[in-house]
Structure 1
Amino acid sequence: MTETRAPIAYLTGQYPKVSHTFIQREVEGLRALGWTIEACTVRRPAAKDVVGEAQKAEEARTFGVIEAAKNPVTMIRAQIRAIARDPRRWGRAVKLALKLRPPGVKATIWQLFYFLEAAVLAEHLEKKGVRHLHNHFADSSCTVAALTAEMLGIPYSFTMHGPTEFFAANWWCLGEKVSRARFVAAISHFCRSQLMYFAPRESWDHIRIVHCGVTPALYGPHEETEAPTVVFVGRLDSVKGVPLLIEAFARVREEHPRARLSIIGDGPERAACEARVQALGMGEVTTFHGYKTSAEVADMLRRSDMLVLPSFAEGVPVVLMEAMASGIPVVASGVAGVAELVGNGISGFTVPPGDVETLAARISVLIADPELRARMGQAGREKVEAEFDLSRETRWLSEIFTGALSGTLPEGLRPKD
């Protein structure tokens, strides 16, 4: 029987959505450990981004901040309630809103919206008896979280992913947010080092490393394919480098004409990618699948020979963990924390970002050597089981939440073995 724990709220910009499935898995894991998690989202995701019955059910139980704030009565009542609850806290929240405000008139207007949203969220969390607010990402939703926590007088924390927020650290007042948080969960050592760069020294001690994780039992074993199959899973937008993969695969087919390319995901670059595939004469060997549920992705990974992720910027992609847990090697750009997951030449290959020639060469090496694929796949599975198992990471995060609520964080950057 699980222990009943204090209510915690989870907030992010859009929840639940198919590209952020790892957040939903984390929430479900904490609930299984006995935590009461009140899921909240600033904005409702688009219908196309909510995939599968599990996500639809989670969306139905998630509080939408902007959705509630669209009612003028709700918004005005929330501000009155915030002032009546504690005028001094409300005043400090006003000062904090000004402190976290990026420069410019437009940014000031947005900051006003965040302040109004924070009051609506605060009223909701007060009704639910929430004692701690946790946010994913350090952008606008983290601003709302910091303001809400100030109004309510409860601690807040956030999970830092990157890399987007690191490109605009001053705009999002990253150092101030780290300083004010009860703790920050960084997804990798690289991520933590970037936080240390932007945050004052006295705040470093409350940064812990919490990996995103997967449940290895849900993936694999690998099944042999009739033709060598390369798979990509992710958003089809500029940061993921899909055009590079298409160009590299065109070179690969010169040596391996039976090879096939499977692209899972959707996004603003899909039409351009489809057009380039047709222009290269690869329409018959390339399939665009669109978004798939987690179970469908797991099944397609099992029936692929490798996953390729030629991103220009990343945190530590969960899809790499999923592929490695499926027993297939990965080829990924060696950016940010990727090397903390992928051992170059061990569980796959890391390649210089933007280098089409090396990307194509590494794919070709793997296609030509089934025994190498098998060895790398096994090594990848073992790596995920040892360091990126969701249940272990969730227990560690639970321990951190317990410490945050009691006033003493657990020692160490990572959980003890």
Structure 2
Amino acid sequence: MRIAYLTGEYPRATDTFIQREVTTLREMGVDVHTFSVRRTGDEHMVGTEQKLERDRTFYILPPNPINLILAHLSLLLAFPKRYLQAIKLAWSTSQPGLRGALFQIFYFLEAGILAKQIKQRQIVHLHNHIVEASGTVAMLAAEMGGFTYSFTLHGPYIFFRPHQWRLDEKIKRSLFVCCISHYARSQGMIFAPTEKWNRMHIIHCGIDPALFDVVSHNESGKRLLFVGRLAAAKGLPILLESLVSLRRSHPNISLTVVGDGPDRQKLEQTTAQLGLSQNVKFVGYKSQGEVRDYFQQTDIFVMSSFAEGIPVVLMEAMAAGVPVVATQIAGVSELVEDGVNGYLVPPGDPVSLAENIEILLSNHKLRAAFGTAGRAKVEKDFNIHHEVARLHNLMKSALQGDVEPIRPNYPEKQVFLTKQETVTTSV
């Protein structure tokens, strides 16, 4: 099976889940050709994996003008009806206003380059990650080239502006949709015609638990870890505010921030203003191997986000046996079970965040119990080998015209500890 993968920028340091999915499909014998709208910057080349993927990826931008013209001309002459239908589709799904129309022209031109490449390489199917702009390119390319396409529905950003990005039309035209959580699937179902619901499948982003050594838990905990893009949606100011109160009882508490982004300078300034410069260390982007090393040097992983899908870094922390404290948003509760393998807190609440971190810092046995349960959860429900095998089977059956039935994934019954009970165990 020869397929294409498309996203807006590939490979990025923050999108390792796509790289793992591509690699695992190739290990299963699938001939995967990777395409990206834009070329990835050097700041994302944090490891050998990224460098190898960038070298083998086809980048649509910047286009060679002659190749751009020839691609569209050949598609028009070979498939005039399809080409005109693609123009109609681009017009009908354009975002409002002059700016929206201008960007739709860009997407259409990019789609022509992509469609030509896919036809030349005799690729049978196109799969897209991140359904906003690159999803539009994928939809138009499929219409222009006459091949099938599918996409993975992540969220959260597509759910902020679903009408603008015509999520309804993208679902309707797709061969199938992979949803990373039940939450994502439910949001997509709002815009999907009911006859397409059975084509919307839960395929988790996953990791390989075997890559992660389980940490040993010290009696005294003081080391916190955050990994992610430094942007407003990650809620890092809330985490910093919680550190101010935690430092009163844990003066040596430390937070390592792995990642980079547009808010880094502002966050470093806030850290200094709060008097936390000795407690917080910003280390920038790191390779996958380096991130695994950081898990071995931490007591608690903290996620303070306002908007997420199901963060892969949470899966990684849990695979390493690190207890987690995360915000109860979107599909996070499908991974982190409150009182079983971590704590869930209201987003934007530094008091609750600090209280739950405090419970774990003070109880190394509870940290170990949560770590063991977290590892088991990831091995069972978020193992990349299992999830990609399901994706592979779904692609094969869908391309053969079969509809794979939806199989509900109900969690096994768990014994939940209340926070009062966990506090009691620490006395």
TM class, shorter-chain normalised? over 0.9
Note the alpha carbon deviations across 1:45-77, whole angstroms, 9 max, x for none: 22112221111111000000113x2x1101100
Q: Distance in 1 between matches of 2:407 and 2:289?
A: 32
Check if 1:174 corresponds to 2:170: no
Q: Distance in 1 between matches of 2:340 and 2:408?
A: 23
Check if 1:163 corresponds to 2:167: no
The one-letter code sitting in structure 2 at the alignment partner of 1:46 is G
Q: Distance in 1 between matches of 2:115 and 2:195?
A: 28
Q: Distance in 2 between matches of 1:184 and 1:191?
A: 11
Check if 1:244 corresponds to 2:238: yes
Alignment of 1:163-202 (within 5 A): 163-202=156-195
Secondary structure at 1:362 match in 2 = helix
Check if 1:295 corresponds to 2:268: no
Note the alpha carbon deviations across 1:100-122, whole angstroms, 9 max, x for none: 11111110111011111111111
- Gap runs ≥5 in structure 2: 412-427
TM-score scaled to structure 1, two decimals? 0.96
Check if 1:54 corresponds to 2:49: yes
Q: CA RMSD in A?
A: 1.4
Check if 1:341 corresponds to 2:341: no
Q: Distance in 1 between matches of 2:195 and 2:404?
A: 17
Residue of structure 1 aligned with 2:139, choices 143, 146, 151: 146
The one-letter code sitting in structure 2 at the alignment partner of 1:31 is R
Which residue matches 1:319? 313
Deviation at 1:224, TM superposition (A): 4.3
Which residue matches 1:381? 375
Secondary structure at 2:255 match in 1 = strand
Which residue matches 2:94? 101
Deviation at 1:281, TM superposition (A): 2.1
Larger CA deviation: 195-204 vs 355-364: 195-204
Deviation at 1:25, TM superposition (A): 0.3
Deviation at 1:223, TM superposition (A): 3.4
Check if 1:211 corresponds to 2:215: no
Check if 1:136 corresponds to 2:129: yes
The one-letter code sitting in structure 2 at the alignment partner of 1:319 is V
The answer (yes or no) to whether the contact 2:44–2:50 under 8 Å persists in 1 is: no
Alignment of 1:13-32 (within 5 A): 13-32=8-27
Q: Distance in 1 between matches of 2:398 and 2:106?
A: 29
Larger CA deviation: 186-195 vs 47-56: 47-56
Closer, same or farther: CA 93–413 of 1 in aligned 2, 3 Å: farther
Check if 1:38 corresponds to 2:29: no
Q: Distance in 1 between matches of 2:387 and 2:140?
A: 28
Q: Distance in 2 between matches of 1:20 and 1:101?
A: 27
Count of paired positions: 410
Which residue matches 2:79? 86
Which residue matches 1:111? 104
Closer, same or farther: CA 130–342 of 1 in aligned 2, 3 Å: same
Deviation at 1:201, TM superposition (A): 1.3
The one-letter code sitting in structure 1 at the alignment partner of 2:252 is R
- Gap runs ≥5 in structure 1: 1-5
The answer (yes or no) to whether the contact 2:221–2:299 under 8 Å persists in 1 is: no
Secondary structure at 1:66 match in 2 = coil
The answer (yes or no) to whether the contact 1:228–1:259 under 8 Å persists in 2 is: yes
Deviation at 1:413, TM superposition (A): 3.9
The one-letter code sitting in structure 2 at the alignment partner of 1:45 is T
Q: Distance in 2 between matches of 1:33 and 1:415?
A: 24
Q: Distance in 2 between matches of 1:241 and 1:285?
A: 18
Note the alpha carbon deviations across 1:23-53, whole angstroms, 9 max, x for none: 0000000000000000000111221122211
The one-letter code sitting in structure 2 at the alignment partner of 1:30 is L
Note the alpha carbon deviations across 1:160-185, whole angstroms, 9 max, x for none: 00010111000000011000000000
Deviation at 1:395, TM superposition (A): 0.2
Q: Distance in 2 between matches of 1:97 and 1:282?
A: 51
Identity of aligned residues (%): 44
The answer (yes or no) to whether the contact 1:219–1:302 under 8 Å persists in 2 is: no
Q: Distance in 1 between matches of 2:49 and 2:333?
A: 32
TM-score scaled to structure 2, two decimals? 0.94
Secondary structure at 2:61 match in 1 = helix
The one-letter code sitting in structure 2 at the alignment partner of 1:208 is H
The one-letter code sitting in structure 2 at the alignment partner of 1:263 is V
Check if 1:254 corresponds to 2:248: yes
Deviation at 1:249, TM superposition (A): 1.0
Which residue matches 2:421? none
Secondary structure at 1:221 match in 2 = coil
Which residue matches 2:66? 73
The answer (yes or no) to whether the contact 1:27–1:37 under 8 Å persists in 2 is: yes
